[in-house]
Amino acid sequence: MSAKAITTLPPSNIWPSLQIDPFLSYLAIECGLSENTIQAYRRDLLKFANYCHHQTLSNPDKITPRFLQNFAKSLFELKLATASIARHISAMKMFLRYHQLFNLVNRDLCSVLESPKTWQRIPRVLSKKNTIDLITAIDPNTQMYHRDKAIMELLYATGMRASEIADLQLDFINYQVRFIRCIGKGSKERIIPVHQTALDLISNYVKTLRQKVLKGGVSPLLFLSRTGRPLNRIAVWRIVTKCARHAGLVGKITPHTLRHCFGTHLLQGGADLRSVQEMLGHADVATTQIYTHVDGEQLKKIHKKYHPRP
Residues with a catalytic annotation lie at 161, 185, 256, 259, 282, 291
CA distance 203 to 214: 16
What are the C-alpha distances in Å from 201 to residues 130, 206, 287, 310? 20, 9, 31, 49
**Biggest CA-to-CA distance, the chain:** 71
CA distance 156 to 154: 5
What are the C-alpha distances in Å from 249 to residues 66, 71, 241, 245? 49, 42, 9, 6
Residues 6+ apart with CB under 8 A from 287: 277, 280
What are the C-alpha distances in Å from 83 to residues 68, 90, 161, 231? 18, 10, 20, 28
In our burial notation (b when 16+ CB lie closer than 10 A, e otherwise), range 17-56 reads: ebbbeebbebbbeeeebbeebbebbbebbbbbbbbbbeee
